[in-house]
C-alpha cells in the first residue's frame, strides 16, 4: 500500500488549517510525527468530539503515518484539561498496543499553532517562514487523521464535522456534505436572532462575514471546522471592518511603544525576528521612505507574522491593529521586491512559558465570555437538497472539472481532478445530478424521491 497515493486519491488536505495537501506533507522522512488535537482557538468543539468519538481511528492513522515517515517519536498533543478526550485516546492506544505518547499542553492561545506545538513538544524552533519538517517533524490535525483512516478503507473526503456555537440556542456539532450552505448549518442550531453575522473558524483567525450576500453564499469546505454566530454589532465585527488608513492613523496617534505586542508574540517567543512595535512606530512615515534598505529595516519583520492576532486582540492596551498593519506591510514589501533574510537557527526565549496568552483572559477580551462555558454534546447529521462544491478548497492550484452539467454522480465520485503541481482532488459529496459546473465549482442537486 502506498500511503501517499491513497491520500492523494482521496483528496485529503489539512482539515484544521489552510488546507495543505496531505499527500505532499507525507512525502517526507521525519523523526517526529505529531497529531495536533489542541483545538487552537476558543469556542471550537470539533477536534474534541473526534477525539472522544473516534480515538481508534486517530490512533490507527497516526501509527500508519508515523511508520510511513519513519518517525521514532509519535505524539498526540492536546490540552491537559481535555480529560475525557485524553482518557479515550489512552484507552485506544493501550488497546492497539501502539507506541504513541500523549503530550498534555497548558491552556493557552495559540496552543494549536503547529510551530508553537513543535517547539513545545520537541524543544526545537522551526526556522522563520519554515516548516516543521525543517526540524524533523510532520504535524497533522485529528480531522486529517480521521479522513486518512477512512481513505484506507476506500472512502474519499466528502463530508465534514463542524461545530456551530455562539448566539444559538445551544452549541451543536454537525456532520454534513461538503458544499452545504453555512446558513443551513446555522439554522440547525436555532440562532437566537434573525439578523446575525458569522465567523467561519475561530474568533482570532477565522473569516468574518457581515455582508448578507456573502453569508448566504458561503459553504462548508474541507477546512471548515466551526461557525460562530454573533450579533452584527459585536466588537469583533466592528474590528474586522476597520479601514487600513484608520488603523495607520490610530497607530500614529496612540501607539505608546509599550512593546507588549512584541513580548507576547508567539513567533517572537520561539526566537523569530519579529517586532510589531517597530512596525507600528514607523508606519506613519511609510510613504516618506524611499530607500529599500531603510524600508526593510523598518518593516521587514512583518514577513514573520503568522496572523495569530495576539498582538491586537490581547496584548495592545490601546486597541491598535499590529496584525493587520503587518499584513498590509507584507504586501508593500512584495510591491517593492524586497527580500527579507530568514533566521535559520532560532532559539526560544527563556521566559517563553511566562508570556503565553491565557485562553480564559483572551475570551474575556474578545467579549465572548457568555459563550465560553457552553459546549456541544450532540452531533446531528444533515443532508441538504443541494450543494455547491468549490474547486479551490486547499493551498495550491484549484482542481480541474472532471464532469459536465447534466451528469449523474454518486457520493465519492471524482468531480474535479487535482491540477498539475500542488493541488487536491475534489469529490461529489452526495448522489445527484450536476446542475452547473465551471472552473470555480459545481452545483449538485439530489434526485427527487
Name residue, grid cell 532559539: 347
Task: Categorize the per-residue pLDDT at 1 as very low, low, confident or very high, splitting at 50, 70 and 90.
Answer: low
**Mean pLDDT computed over 287-315:** 96
Report yes or no: 434 and 444 within 8 Å, Cβ to Cβ: yes
Distance CA 436, CA 445 (A): 10
Looking at the whole model, is its pTM more than 0.75? Answer: yes
What lies within 8 Å, CB to CB, of 183 at 6+ separation is: 215, 216, 218
Pairing, β 357-358 against β 73-79 = unpaired
Closest by CA to 195, choosing from 148, 237, 133, 241, is 237
Task: Please determine, for residue 212, whether its predicted confidence score (pLDDT) is greater than 60.
Answer: yes
Distance CA 371, CA 350 (A): 35
Report yes or no: 283 and 331 within 8 Å, Cβ to Cβ: no
Distance CA 423, CA 418 (A): 5
What lies within 8 Å, CB to CB, of 281 at 6+ separation is: 255, 257
Distance CA 64, CA 343 (A): 33
Q: What confidence score (pLDDT) does residue 377 get?
A: 86
pLDDT in tens, 5-43: 999 999 999 997 789 999 999 999 999 999 999 988 999
Distance CA 103, CA 378 (A): 27
Share of the chain above pLDDT 70, in %: 99
Q: What confidence score (pLDDT) does residue 209 get?
A: 96
Q: What confidence score (pLDDT) does residue 11 get?
A: 97
pLDDT in tens, 220-256: 999 999 999 999 999 999 899 899 999 999 999 999 9
Report yes or no: 270 and 116 within 8 Å, Cβ to Cβ: yes
Q: What confidence score (pLDDT) does residue 24 get?
A: 94
Q: What confidence score (pLDDT) does residue 162 get?
A: 97
Q: What confidence score (pLDDT) does residue 415 get?
A: 98
Stated as kind and residue range, the H or E segment containing 443 is: strand 441-445
Task: Please determine, for residue 181, whether its predicted confidence score (pLDDT) is greater than 60.
Answer: yes
Name residue, grid cell 446555522: 186
pLDDT in tens, 267-286: 999 999 999 999 999 999 99
Q: How far is CA 359 from the centre of its chain?
A: 17
In the sheet where 32-36 sits, what is the strand order? Answer: 101-105, 73-79, 32-36, 137-141
pLDDT in tens, 109-164: 999 999 999 999 999 999 999 999 999 999 999 999 999 999 999 999 999 999 99
**Mean pLDDT computed over 201-205:** 96
Q: How far is CA 144 from the centre of its chain?
A: 12
Stated as kind and residue range, the H or E segment containing 298 is: helix 292-299
Grid coordinates given for 217: 453564499
pLDDT in tens, 387-442: 999 999 999 999 999 999 999 999 999 999 999 999 999 999 999 999 999 999 99
What lies within 8 Å, CB to CB, of 414 at 6+ separation is: 402, 425, 426, 427, 428
Task: Please determine, for residue 294, whether its predicted confidence score (pLDDT) is greater than 90.
Answer: yes
Task: Please determine, for residue 449, whether its predicted confidence score (pLDDT) is greater than 60.
Answer: no
Terminal Cα distance for the chain, rounded: 39
3-state secondary structure (DSSP) of residue 360: helix
Task: Please determine, for residue 341, whether its predicted confidence score (pLDDT) is greater than 60.
Answer: yes
Q: What confidence score (pLDDT) does residue 18 get?
A: 81
As a whole number, the mean pLDDT across the chain is 96
Task: Please determine, for residue 176, whether its predicted confidence score (pLDDT) is greater than 70.
Answer: yes
Q: What confidence score (pLDDT) does residue 16 get?
A: 79
**Mean pLDDT computed over 282-311:** 96
Distance CA 114, CA 291 (A): 36
Q: What are phi and psi of 133, to 5 degrees?
A: -60, -25
Amino acid at each position: 500500500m502506498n500511503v501517499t497515493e491513497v491520500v492523494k486519491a482521496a483528496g485529503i488536505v489539512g482539515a484544521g488549517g489552510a488546507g495543505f495537501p496531505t499527500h505532499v506533507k507525507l512525502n517526507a522522512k521525519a523523526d517526529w510525527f505529531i497529531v495536533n488535537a489542541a483545538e487552537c482557538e476558543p469556542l471550537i468543539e470539533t477536534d474534541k468530539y473526534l477525539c472522544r468519538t473516534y480515538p481508534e481511528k486517530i490512533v490507527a492513522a497516526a501509527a500508519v503515518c508515523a511508520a510511513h515517515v519513519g518517525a521514532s517519536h509519535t505524539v498526540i498533543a492536546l490540552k491537559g484539561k481535555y480529560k475525557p478526550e485524553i482518557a479515550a485516546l489512552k484507552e485506544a492506544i493501550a488497546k492497539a498496543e501502539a507506541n504513541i505518547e500523549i503530550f498534555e499542553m497548558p491552556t493557552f492561545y495559540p496552543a494549536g499553532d503547529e510551530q508553537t506545538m513543535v517547539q513545545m513538544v520537541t524543544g526545537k524552533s522551526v526556522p522563520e517562514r519554515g516548516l516543521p519538517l525543517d526540524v524533523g517533524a510532520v504535524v497533522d490535525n485529528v480531522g486529517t487523521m480521521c479522513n486518512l483512516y477512512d481513505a484506507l478503507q476506500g472512502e474519499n473526503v466528502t463530508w465534514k464535522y463542524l461545530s456551530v456555537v455562539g448566539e444559538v440556542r445551544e452549541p451543536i456539532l454537525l456532520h454534513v456534505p461538503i458544499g452545504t450552505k453555512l446558513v443551513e448549518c446555522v439554522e440547525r442550531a436555532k440562532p437566537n436572532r434573525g439578523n446575525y453575522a458569522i465567523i467561519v473558524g475561530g474568533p482570532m483567525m477565522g473569516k468574518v462575514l457581515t455582508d448578507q450576500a456573502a453569508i448566504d453564499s458561503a459553504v462548508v469546505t474541507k477546512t471548515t471546522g466551526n461557525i460562530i454566530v454573533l450579533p452584527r454589532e459585536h466588537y469583533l465585527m466592528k474590528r474586522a471592518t476597520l479601514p487600513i488608513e484608520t488603523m495607520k492613523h490610530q497607530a500614529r496617534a496612540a501607539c505608546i511603544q509599550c512593546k507588549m505586542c512584541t513580548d507576547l508574540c508567539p513567533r517572537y517567543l520561539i526566537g523569530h525576528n519579529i517586532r510589531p512595535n517597530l512596525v507600528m512606530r514607523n508606519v506613519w512615515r511609510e510613504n516618506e521612505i524611499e530607500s529599500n534598505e531603510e524600508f526593510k529595516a523598518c518593516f521587514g519583520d512583518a514577513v514573520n507574522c503568522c496572523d495569530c492576532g495576539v498582538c491586537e486582540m490581547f496584548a495592545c492596551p490601546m486597541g491598535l491593529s499590529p496584525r493587520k498593519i503587518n499584513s498590509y506591510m507584507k504586501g508593500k514589501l512584495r510591491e517593492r521586491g524586497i527580500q527579507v533574510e530568514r533566521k535559520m537557527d532560532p532559539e526560544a526565549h527563556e521566559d517563553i512559558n511566562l508570556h503565553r496568552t491565557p485562553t480564559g483572559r483572551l475570551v474575556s477580551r474578545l467579549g465572548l465570555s457568555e459563550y465560553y462555558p457552553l459546549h456541544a454534546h450532540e452531533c446531528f447529521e444533515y443532508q441538504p437538497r443541494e450543494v455547491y462544491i468549490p474547486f479551490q478548497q486547499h493551498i495550491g492550484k484549484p482542481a480541474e472539472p472532471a464532469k459536465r452539467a447534466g451528469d449523474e454522480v454518486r457520493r465519492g465520485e471524482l468531480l474535479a481532478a487535482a491540477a498539475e503541481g500542488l493541488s487536491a482532488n475534489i469529490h461529489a459529496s452526495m448522489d445527484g445530478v450536476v446542475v452547473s459546473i465551471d472552473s470555480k465549482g459545481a452545483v449538485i442537486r439530489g434526485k427527487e424521491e
